[in-house]
Amino acid sequence: MNHLVTVAKQFKSDGNILDVQEYGSGNVNDTFLVTLDSPQEKHFVLQRINTHVFRRPELVMLNMRVFTAHVHERLRREPNSGRRWQVPRVLSAQDGNSHYIDGEGSFWRALSFIDASTSFEQVQSTEHAREVGHALGRFQSLISDLATEKLYDTLEGFHITPRYLQHYDVVLSRNGVTPKTPDVDYGLRFVQERRDWAPVLEDAKSQNKLRLRLIHGDPKVNNIMIDETTGQAVSIVDLDTVKPGLVHYDIGDCLRSCCNPLGEETTDFDAVRFETDLCQAILQGYLPLAQDFLDDNDYAYLYDAIRLIAFELGLRFFTDYLEGNVYFKAKHQEHNLARAIVQFKLAESIERQEAAIRAIIDDLR
Ligand code: GN1
Ligand code: MG
């Protein structure tokens, strides 16, 4: 029997397994969609966790159990808002655990599929952008009353930009840079010119201007599930990085992902731009839900967050290219270099539009 089917059978579900197919476009974990013959549950999501990235995957699952229980309880008590909102459920393995380890030592887990919904690699319209913003606000607000100490830090250094810079310096001094092509040269200069500004959010955190909260960590456009009929956002998936952090990491990540109409994988570098209309729509969806937990300092650092997370992701891709593609899955040798340039071009576009972006933020406060 196919190995994937054998693994899928280790998780409790309502029906027999009809099919297991690769699913989505994750850069870290391997994701599969399992199809069942049961009318109650047509699908579930099966994932092999990248344990090179998530060193303690059992803590990722523990976190997931804790905050999904919290959110399910809040949703149960909340008055009906007339909108569907769902959180994936962790499916137990036959032995009652939240994971299954196969004969090769791979770590597998299963989650329920959000029915009748779909996600997109790029934002489709301003309505879609508004829904993405709504989803992020809804998600953050549902975990805003869960104490940060309840969740483990399952990926130390995640979104701590100065840590990525430190690692970049180590890789550069260890490996050197060969070949020094014009693209590599551009990347080196780009990082050099911005490195003094890179600790901006971490500095604000140390000065107690910004405080830790629970965040999603990866609210990019393809993690927002959209109802197939209503077009409304109904869930955010990819919950591995829900842990303590700054809400700014989330806002920055959401905007760098959603306001880049060409997407992360384009190779048309000169056409990459940050679309301020989409930024406005996302914040229009987000801020009404977030204004209860955002203070003046939070607003003051929003622009920096948008610029920083684009810069940071570019730096992460660039470092990974220089290191030989050890973190992000790459389809070819230069793949992470190309992804880095896209993020750097996006950061430049953000910088050019600083006044307009700050005006949008001020306007919506
Ligand atoms: C990774 O695996 P995926 O695609 O969900 C990465 C994110 C990046 C994203 C860029 C744990 O997410 O931080 O923003 O690639 N996840 C991790 O596409 O590093
Ligand atoms: Mg992810």
Give pLDDT tens digits for 86-139: 999 999 999 999 999 999 999 999 999 999 999 999 999 999 999 999 999 999
Give pLDDT tens digits for 179-230: 889 999 999 999 999 999 999 999 999 999 999 999 999 999 999 999 999 9
Which ligand is closest in space to the CA of residue 316? 1
* Residues in CB range of 247: below 8 A, 6 or more apart: 140, 213, 215, 290, 293, 294, 298
320 lines ligand 1 (CB under 6 A): no
Q: Look at ligand 1, atom 13, and give the residue with the nearest C-alpha.
A: 218
Closest-CA residue to 337 (of 167, 253, 345): 345
Q: Look at ligand 1, atom 10, and give the residue with the nearest C-alpha.
A: 27
Beta strands 17-22 and 30-36 are: antiparallel
* Residues in CB range of 23: below 8 A, 6 or more apart: 31, 32, 33, 45
Looking at ligand 1, which atom is closest to the CA of residue 253? 14
What distance in angstroms lies between residue 155's CA and the mean position of ligand 2's atoms? 12
Residue 153 in contact with residue 243, Cβ under 8 Å? yes
Residue 224 C-beta-side C-alpha neighbours within 13 Å = 31
218 lines ligand 1 (CB under 6 A): yes
Element (H, E) at 200: helix 200-206
Which parts of the chain sit beneath pLDDT 70? 1
* Amino acid at site 24: G
Residue 258 C-beta-side C-alpha neighbours within 13 Å = 39
Instruction: Output the six-digit token pair for 271.
Output: 């056409």
Looking at ligand 1, which atom is closest to the CA of residue 238? 5
Element (H, E) at 344: helix 335-352
122 burial via Cβ count (<10 Å: 0-12, 13-18, 19+): middle
Instruction: Output the six-digit token pair for 73.
Output: 């309880």
Element (H, E) at 68: helix 57-77
Phi, psi of 325 (to 5 degrees): 60, 60
Report pTM: 0.97
What distance in angstroms lies between residue 28's CA and the mean position of ligand 1's atoms? 6
Q: Look at ligand 1, atom 17, and give the residue with the nearest C-alpha.
A: 28
Q: Look at ligand 1, atom 5, and give the residue with the nearest C-alpha.
A: 26
Which residue among 27, 121, 317, 339 is best mutated to probe the pocket of ligand 1, counting the most ligand atoms within 8 A of its Cβ? Answer: 27
Determine the angle formed by the axes of helices 247-258 and 276-290, rounding to 10 degrees: 150
Looking at ligand 1, which atom is closest to the CA of residue 155? 11
Residue 151 CA to residue 70 CA, distance in Å, equals 12
Query: What is residue 82's predicted lDDT score, i.e. its pLDDT?
Result: 87
Query: What is residue 12's predicted lDDT score, i.e. its pLDDT?
Result: 85
What distance in angstroms lies between residue 239's CA and the mean position of ligand 2's atoms? 7
72 burial via Cβ count (<10 Å: 0-12, 13-18, 19+): middle
